[in-house]
Structure 1
Amino acid sequence: MSNILVVEDDADIRDLVVFQLGQDGHQVCAVADGPAALDAVQQRCPDLIVLDWMLPRLSGLQVCRLVRAMPSAEKVKILMLTVRVTDTDVVESLAAGVDEFMAKPFDLHDLRVRIRTLLAGADGGC
Protein backbone atom coordinates (compact mmCIF):
# COMPACT_ATOMS: atom_id res chain seq x y z
CA MET A 1 0.00 0.00 0.00
CA SER A 2 1.06 3.60 0.46
CA ASN A 3 3.58 5.32 2.66
CA ILE A 4 1.77 7.89 4.85
CA LEU A 5 3.19 10.46 7.26
CA VAL A 6 0.89 11.62 10.08
CA VAL A 7 1.90 14.95 11.63
CA GLU A 8 -0.21 15.54 14.73
CA ASP A 9 0.75 16.84 18.18
CA ASP A 10 -2.33 15.41 19.93
CA ALA A 11 -1.26 11.87 20.89
CA ASP A 12 -4.82 10.49 21.00
CA ILE A 13 -5.66 11.72 17.50
CA ARG A 14 -2.26 10.67 16.17
CA ASP A 15 -2.58 7.16 17.61
CA LEU A 16 -6.13 6.74 16.27
CA VAL A 17 -5.18 7.82 12.74
CA VAL A 18 -1.98 5.75 12.73
CA PHE A 19 -3.83 2.67 13.97
CA GLN A 20 -6.61 2.96 11.40
CA LEU A 21 -4.31 3.63 8.46
CA GLY A 22 -2.13 0.71 9.53
CA GLN A 23 -5.24 -1.49 9.65
CA ASP A 24 -5.98 -0.33 6.10
CA GLY A 25 -2.59 -1.72 5.06
CA HIS A 26 -0.58 1.48 4.77
CA GLN A 27 2.95 2.00 6.04
CA VAL A 28 2.53 4.81 8.57
CA CYS A 29 5.07 7.04 10.27
CA ALA A 30 3.97 9.61 12.85
CA VAL A 31 5.63 12.72 14.25
CA ALA A 32 4.46 15.45 16.62
CA ASP A 33 6.02 18.69 15.36
CA GLY A 34 6.99 20.64 12.26
CA PRO A 35 10.76 20.06 12.17
CA ALA A 36 10.27 16.32 12.69
CA ALA A 37 7.79 16.36 9.81
CA LEU A 38 10.34 17.93 7.47
CA ASP A 39 12.96 15.38 8.52
CA ALA A 40 10.49 12.55 7.91
CA VAL A 41 9.63 13.86 4.44
CA GLN A 42 13.30 13.93 3.49
CA GLN A 43 14.02 10.50 4.95
CA ARG A 44 10.84 8.56 4.09
CA CYS A 45 9.48 10.30 1.00
CA PRO A 46 5.78 9.71 1.81
CA ASP A 47 3.01 9.38 -0.75
CA LEU A 48 0.69 11.40 1.48
CA ILE A 49 0.93 13.60 4.57
CA VAL A 50 -1.93 14.00 7.05
CA LEU A 51 -0.98 17.38 8.52
CA ASP A 52 -2.31 19.28 11.51
CA TRP A 53 -2.11 23.09 11.30
CA MET A 54 -1.55 23.78 14.99
CA LEU A 55 1.87 22.22 15.65
CA PRO A 56 4.75 23.12 17.96
CA ARG A 57 7.84 24.84 16.52
CA LEU A 58 6.55 25.15 12.92
CA SER A 59 2.91 25.34 11.95
CA GLY A 60 1.39 22.88 9.55
CA LEU A 61 1.00 25.71 7.07
CA GLN A 62 4.73 26.44 7.28
CA VAL A 63 5.48 22.73 6.89
CA CYS A 64 3.24 22.57 3.82
CA ARG A 65 5.01 25.52 2.19
CA LEU A 66 8.43 24.04 2.92
CA VAL A 67 7.44 20.62 1.57
CA ARG A 68 6.06 22.24 -1.58
CA ALA A 69 9.41 24.01 -2.02
CA MET A 70 11.28 20.67 -2.01
CA PRO A 71 11.79 19.61 -5.63
CA SER A 72 11.91 15.97 -4.53
CA ALA A 73 8.51 16.21 -2.79
CA GLU A 74 6.41 17.92 -5.43
CA LYS A 75 4.15 14.87 -5.93
CA VAL A 76 3.44 14.29 -2.23
CA LYS A 77 -0.26 14.72 -1.45
CA ILE A 78 -1.13 16.78 1.63
CA LEU A 79 -4.35 16.56 3.61
CA MET A 80 -4.72 19.34 6.21
CA LEU A 81 -6.65 18.07 9.25
CA THR A 82 -7.34 21.00 11.56
CA VAL A 83 -9.60 22.88 13.94
CA ARG A 84 -8.94 26.03 11.91
CA VAL A 85 -11.94 26.14 9.62
CA THR A 86 -12.76 29.69 8.62
CA ASP A 87 -13.03 30.50 4.93
CA THR A 88 -9.74 32.38 5.24
CA ASP A 89 -8.05 29.30 6.75
CA VAL A 90 -9.25 27.10 3.91
CA VAL A 91 -8.10 29.59 1.26
CA GLU A 92 -4.74 30.06 2.96
CA SER A 93 -4.22 26.29 3.15
CA LEU A 94 -5.07 25.75 -0.49
CA ALA A 95 -2.81 28.63 -1.51
CA ALA A 96 0.04 27.01 0.45
CA GLY A 97 -0.38 23.80 -1.55
CA VAL A 98 -2.74 21.62 0.46
CA ASP A 99 -4.55 19.07 -1.73
CA GLU A 100 -7.43 18.40 0.68
CA PHE A 101 -8.79 20.21 3.73
CA MET A 102 -10.68 18.52 6.55
CA ALA A 103 -12.06 19.95 9.79
CA LYS A 104 -11.71 18.53 13.29
CA PRO A 105 -13.58 16.92 14.85
CA PHE A 106 -13.67 14.46 11.97
CA ASP A 107 -15.33 11.25 10.96
CA LEU A 108 -12.75 8.47 10.63
CA HIS A 109 -14.57 6.90 7.68
CA ASP A 110 -14.60 10.26 5.87
CA LEU A 111 -10.86 10.65 6.50
CA ARG A 112 -10.18 7.19 5.09
CA VAL A 113 -12.26 7.92 1.97
CA ARG A 114 -10.47 11.21 1.36
CA ILE A 115 -7.10 9.53 1.77
CA ARG A 116 -8.08 6.77 -0.67
CA THR A 117 -9.23 9.40 -3.17
CA LEU A 118 -6.02 11.38 -2.89
CA LEU A 119 -3.87 8.27 -3.24
CA ALA A 120 -5.87 7.06 -6.23
CA GLY A 121 -4.89 10.21 -8.10
CA ALA A 122 -1.28 10.23 -6.88
CA ASP A 123 1.79 9.57 -8.99
CA GLY A 124 3.74 8.47 -5.93
CA GLY A 125 5.80 10.31 -3.35
CA CYS A 126 9.17 11.95 -3.87
Structure 2
Amino acid sequence: MKILIVEDEPSMVELLRYNLESEGFEVCSALDGEEAWLCIEEQKPDMVLLDWMLPKLSGIEICRRLRRDQEFRNLPVIMITARGEESDRVRGLDVGADDYVSKPFSPAELMARIRAVLRRHNPNMSNDNITVADVVMDLVAYKVSRDGRELHLGPTEFKLLRFFMERAGRVLTREQLLDGVWGQNVYVEDRTVDVHIRRLRKALNEDNDVDLIRTVRAVGYCFEKGDSNKKAS
Protein backbone atom coordinates (compact mmCIF):
# COMPACT_ATOMS: atom_id res chain seq x y z
CA MET A 1 0.00 0.00 0.00
CA LYS A 2 1.20 3.51 -0.78
CA ILE A 3 1.39 6.18 1.94
CA LEU A 4 1.99 9.86 1.19
CA ILE A 5 4.04 11.76 3.78
CA VAL A 6 3.29 15.50 3.75
CA GLU A 7 5.91 17.13 5.96
CA ASP A 8 8.21 20.15 5.50
CA GLU A 9 11.02 18.85 7.72
CA PRO A 10 13.28 16.54 5.61
CA SER A 11 14.62 14.76 8.71
CA MET A 12 11.07 13.86 9.77
CA VAL A 13 10.28 12.67 6.24
CA GLU A 14 13.27 10.33 6.33
CA LEU A 15 12.34 9.00 9.78
CA LEU A 16 8.80 8.28 8.65
CA ARG A 17 9.98 6.81 5.35
CA TYR A 18 12.39 4.44 7.11
CA ASN A 19 9.73 3.14 9.49
CA LEU A 20 7.04 2.81 6.84
CA GLU A 21 9.26 1.00 4.35
CA SER A 22 10.42 -1.31 7.14
CA GLU A 23 6.74 -2.28 7.55
CA GLY A 24 6.40 -3.01 3.83
CA PHE A 25 4.62 0.19 2.77
CA GLU A 26 5.43 2.05 -0.43
CA VAL A 27 6.20 5.70 0.33
CA CYS A 28 5.99 9.00 -1.51
CA SER A 29 6.45 12.46 -0.02
CA ALA A 30 5.73 16.16 -0.43
CA LEU A 31 7.32 19.15 1.34
CA ASP A 32 4.47 21.65 0.96
CA GLY A 33 0.71 21.71 0.60
CA GLU A 34 0.54 22.42 -3.12
CA GLU A 35 2.98 19.63 -3.95
CA ALA A 36 0.94 17.33 -1.69
CA TRP A 37 -2.26 17.97 -3.63
CA LEU A 38 -0.50 17.20 -6.92
CA CYS A 39 0.86 13.96 -5.45
CA ILE A 40 -2.62 12.96 -4.27
CA GLU A 41 -4.10 13.55 -7.72
CA GLU A 42 -1.29 11.86 -9.64
CA GLN A 43 -0.18 9.01 -7.37
CA LYS A 44 -3.48 8.09 -5.68
CA PRO A 45 -2.05 7.07 -2.29
CA ASP A 46 -3.91 4.75 0.07
CA MET A 47 -3.29 6.99 3.09
CA VAL A 48 -1.92 10.46 3.87
CA LEU A 49 0.26 11.35 6.88
CA LEU A 50 -0.38 15.07 7.01
CA ASP A 51 1.51 17.76 8.92
CA TRP A 52 -0.63 20.66 10.13
CA MET A 53 1.80 23.55 9.51
CA LEU A 54 2.88 23.50 5.86
CA PRO A 55 4.11 26.09 3.36
CA LYS A 56 1.70 27.27 0.64
CA LEU A 57 -1.31 25.23 1.79
CA SER A 58 -2.01 24.10 5.35
CA GLY A 59 -2.73 20.54 6.38
CA ILE A 60 -6.15 21.63 7.63
CA GLU A 61 -7.03 23.06 4.21
CA ILE A 62 -5.81 19.91 2.43
CA CYS A 63 -8.00 17.80 4.69
CA ARG A 64 -10.99 20.04 3.99
CA ARG A 65 -10.41 19.72 0.23
CA LEU A 66 -10.13 15.96 0.45
CA ARG A 67 -13.43 15.64 2.28
CA ARG A 68 -15.17 17.84 -0.31
CA ASP A 69 -13.70 15.93 -3.26
CA GLN A 70 -15.82 13.04 -4.55
CA GLU A 71 -12.78 10.96 -5.54
CA PHE A 72 -10.78 11.42 -2.33
CA ARG A 73 -13.41 11.99 0.35
CA ASN A 74 -12.77 8.53 1.87
CA LEU A 75 -8.97 8.68 1.68
CA PRO A 76 -7.59 7.90 5.18
CA VAL A 77 -5.76 10.84 6.79
CA ILE A 78 -3.67 10.93 9.96
CA MET A 79 -2.56 14.38 11.05
CA ILE A 80 0.91 14.62 12.60
CA THR A 81 1.73 17.91 14.28
CA ALA A 82 3.42 19.67 17.16
CA ARG A 83 0.08 21.32 17.99
CA GLY A 84 -1.02 19.09 20.85
CA GLU A 85 -3.69 21.17 22.58
CA GLU A 86 -7.11 19.57 22.90
CA SER A 87 -8.71 22.33 20.83
CA ASP A 88 -6.24 21.61 17.99
CA ARG A 89 -6.97 17.88 18.11
CA VAL A 90 -10.69 18.56 18.01
CA ARG A 91 -10.29 20.93 15.07
CA GLY A 92 -8.20 18.38 13.15
CA LEU A 93 -10.78 15.64 13.70
CA ASP A 94 -13.65 17.99 12.88
CA VAL A 95 -12.27 18.75 9.41
CA GLY A 96 -12.17 15.03 8.65
CA ALA A 97 -8.87 13.55 9.89
CA ASP A 98 -9.20 9.89 10.89
CA ASP A 99 -6.62 10.20 13.67
CA TYR A 100 -4.30 12.78 15.20
CA VAL A 101 -0.74 12.17 16.46
CA SER A 102 1.22 14.81 18.38
CA LYS A 103 4.98 15.28 18.06
CA PRO A 104 7.12 13.86 19.49
CA PHE A 105 5.65 10.40 18.96
CA SER A 106 6.71 6.78 19.15
CA PRO A 107 7.23 5.21 15.69
CA ALA A 108 5.76 1.95 17.02
CA GLU A 109 2.60 3.75 18.17
CA LEU A 110 2.29 5.54 14.82
CA MET A 111 2.57 2.23 12.93
CA ALA A 112 -0.16 0.76 15.15
CA ARG A 113 -2.40 3.77 14.49
CA ILE A 114 -1.79 3.47 10.74
CA ARG A 115 -2.79 -0.20 10.75
CA ALA A 116 -5.86 0.56 12.86
CA VAL A 117 -7.06 3.30 10.49
CA LEU A 118 -6.46 1.11 7.44
CA ARG A 119 -8.46 -1.72 9.05
CA ARG A 120 -11.34 0.66 9.76
CA HIS A 121 -11.42 1.72 6.13
CA ASN A 122 -11.08 -1.85 4.87
CA PRO A 123 -12.62 -4.32 7.36
CA ASN A 124 -11.53 -7.22 5.13
CA MET A 125 -7.90 -6.59 6.12
CA SER A 126 -6.19 -7.93 9.23
CA ASN A 127 -2.55 -8.19 10.16
CA ASP A 128 -2.22 -11.68 8.71
CA ASN A 129 -5.04 -12.09 6.22
CA ILE A 130 -6.92 -10.25 3.50
CA THR A 131 -10.39 -11.45 2.56
CA VAL A 132 -12.41 -10.18 -0.38
CA ALA A 133 -15.52 -12.02 -1.54
CA ASP A 134 -14.59 -15.72 -1.23
CA VAL A 135 -10.86 -15.18 -1.75
CA VAL A 136 -8.61 -15.40 1.32
CA MET A 137 -4.93 -14.42 1.24
CA ASP A 138 -2.77 -15.62 4.13
CA LEU A 139 0.16 -13.19 4.29
CA VAL A 140 2.10 -15.28 6.80
CA ALA A 141 1.83 -18.69 5.15
CA TYR A 142 1.96 -17.08 1.68
CA LYS A 143 -1.14 -19.01 0.58
CA VAL A 144 -4.32 -18.09 -1.27
CA SER A 145 -7.63 -19.92 -1.37
CA ARG A 146 -10.96 -19.36 -3.06
CA ASP A 147 -14.10 -20.88 -1.59
CA GLY A 148 -11.81 -23.22 0.37
CA ARG A 149 -9.88 -24.29 -2.74
CA GLU A 150 -6.14 -23.62 -2.54
CA LEU A 151 -4.76 -21.62 -5.46
CA HIS A 152 -1.27 -21.94 -6.87
CA LEU A 153 0.20 -18.57 -7.79
CA GLY A 154 3.61 -17.45 -8.95
CA PRO A 155 5.38 -14.66 -7.02
CA THR A 156 4.24 -11.91 -9.41
CA GLU A 157 0.65 -13.13 -9.46
CA PHE A 158 0.67 -13.20 -5.64
CA LYS A 159 1.90 -9.59 -5.47
CA LEU A 160 -0.62 -8.56 -8.14
CA LEU A 161 -3.51 -10.21 -6.30
CA ARG A 162 -2.48 -8.61 -3.01
CA PHE A 163 -2.33 -5.19 -4.67
CA PHE A 164 -5.82 -5.78 -6.10
CA MET A 165 -7.34 -7.09 -2.87
CA GLU A 166 -5.98 -4.23 -0.78
CA ARG A 167 -7.76 -1.87 -3.18
CA ALA A 168 -10.89 -3.92 -3.87
CA GLY A 169 -13.61 -1.94 -5.60
CA ARG A 170 -11.23 0.67 -7.01
CA VAL A 171 -10.47 0.94 -10.71
CA LEU A 172 -6.68 0.72 -11.19
CA THR A 173 -4.85 1.83 -14.30
CA ARG A 174 -2.09 -0.27 -15.86
CA GLU A 175 0.36 2.42 -14.77
CA GLN A 176 -0.76 2.11 -11.13
CA LEU A 177 -0.45 -1.68 -11.33
CA LEU A 178 3.02 -1.40 -12.86
CA ASP A 179 4.21 1.03 -10.19
CA GLY A 180 2.62 -0.90 -7.33
CA VAL A 181 3.65 -4.42 -8.30
CA TRP A 182 6.85 -4.01 -10.31
CA GLY A 183 8.08 -0.69 -8.89
CA GLN A 184 8.49 2.80 -10.30
CA ASN A 185 12.14 2.34 -11.32
CA VAL A 186 11.61 -0.87 -13.30
CA TYR A 187 10.81 -0.76 -17.01
CA VAL A 188 7.97 -3.12 -17.82
CA GLU A 189 5.67 -2.86 -20.84
CA ASP A 190 1.95 -2.32 -20.33
CA ARG A 191 1.15 -5.62 -22.04
CA THR A 192 3.10 -7.42 -19.30
CA VAL A 193 0.29 -6.45 -16.92
CA ASP A 194 -2.25 -8.06 -19.25
CA VAL A 195 -0.22 -11.29 -19.40
CA HIS A 196 -0.12 -11.60 -15.61
CA ILE A 197 -3.80 -10.66 -15.33
CA ARG A 198 -4.62 -13.60 -17.63
CA ARG A 199 -2.50 -15.94 -15.49
CA LEU A 200 -4.16 -14.67 -12.32
CA ARG A 201 -7.64 -15.10 -13.78
CA LYS A 202 -6.80 -18.65 -14.82
CA ALA A 203 -5.67 -19.47 -11.27
CA LEU A 204 -8.68 -17.79 -9.65
CA ASN A 205 -11.47 -19.07 -11.81
CA GLU A 206 -13.00 -22.49 -12.33
CA ASP A 207 -15.83 -23.07 -14.78
CA ASN A 208 -18.64 -21.75 -12.57
CA ASP A 209 -16.73 -19.00 -10.76
CA VAL A 210 -17.52 -15.34 -11.23
CA ASP A 211 -14.53 -13.47 -12.62
CA LEU A 212 -13.70 -11.01 -9.85
CA ILE A 213 -11.28 -9.06 -12.04
CA ARG A 214 -13.33 -6.66 -14.14
CA THR A 215 -11.76 -5.08 -17.22
CA VAL A 216 -12.59 -1.38 -17.53
CA ARG A 217 -12.18 -0.52 -21.18
CA ALA A 218 -9.51 2.12 -21.94
CA VAL A 219 -8.76 2.50 -18.20
CA GLY A 220 -7.56 -0.66 -16.46
CA TYR A 221 -8.93 -3.25 -14.05
CA CYS A 222 -11.01 -3.53 -10.87
CA PHE A 223 -11.08 -6.35 -8.32
CA GLU A 224 -14.74 -6.69 -7.40
CA LYS A 225 -16.03 -6.96 -3.84
CA GLY A 226 -18.89 -9.27 -4.91
CA ASP A 227 -19.90 -11.94 -2.40
CA SER A 228 -21.06 -14.60 -4.82
CA ASN A 229 -18.56 -17.01 -6.28
CA LYS A 230 -20.81 -18.71 -8.81
CA LYS A 231 -22.01 -17.51 -12.15
CA ALA A 232 -25.73 -17.03 -12.57
CA SER A 233 -27.27 -20.00 -14.31
Q: TM-score when scaled to structure 1?
A: 0.94
Unmatched 5+ stretches in structure 2: 123-166, 171-233
Report the counterpart of residue 18 of structure 1 in structure 2.
Answer: 17
Higher relative contact order (CA 8 A, sep 6+): 1
Report the counterpart of residue 48 of structure 1 in structure 2.
Answer: 47
Displacement after TM superposition at 1:82 (Å) = 0.3
Distance between the aligned counterparts of 1:79 and 1:38, measured in 2?
15
Report the counterpart of residue 107 of structure 1 in structure 2.
Answer: 106
Displacement after TM superposition at 1:66 (Å) = 1.0
Report how many residues are paired: 125
Distance between the aligned counterparts of 2:67 and 2:44, measured in 1?
13
Structure (1 or 2) with the larger CA radius of gyration: 2
Structure 1 stretches of 4+ moved >3 Å: 123-126
Displacement after TM superposition at 1:44 (Å) = 1.3
Tell me, what secondary structure is at the counterpart of 2:49?
strand
One-letter amino acid matched to 1:46: P
Tell me, what secondary structure is at the counterpart of 2:39?
helix
CA contact (8 A) 1:34 1:56 kept: yes
One-letter amino acid matched to 1:52: D
Q: Over aligned residue pairs, what C-alpha RMSD do you find?
A: 1.4
Displacement after TM superposition at 1:122 (Å) = 1.9
Q: Deviations over 1:94-113 (max 9, x none)?
A: 11100000100111100010
Displacement after TM superposition at 1:28 (Å) = 0.6
Distance between the aligned counterparts of 1:80 and 1:38, measured in 2?
15
Q: Deviations over 1:53-110 (max 9, x none)?
A: 0111111101111111111112210000000111111111111100000100111100
Displacement after TM superposition at 1:50 (Å) = 0.4
Report the counterpart of residue 77 of structure 1 in structure 2.
Answer: 76
Displacement after TM superposition at 1:21 (Å) = 0.5
Tell me, what secondary structure is at the counterpart of 1:71?
coil
Distance between the aligned counterparts of 2:102 and 2:95, measured in 1?
17
One-letter amino acid matched to 1:3: K
Distance between the aligned counterparts of 2:35 and 2:70, measured in 1?
19
Report the counterpart of residue 94 of structure 1 in structure 2.
Answer: 93
1:24-63 matches, cutoff 5 A: 24-63=23-62
Distance between the aligned counterparts of 2:90 and 2:47, measured in 1?
20
Tell me, what secondary structure is at the counterpart of 2:89?
helix
Distance between the aligned counterparts of 1:96 and 1:116, measured in 2?
21
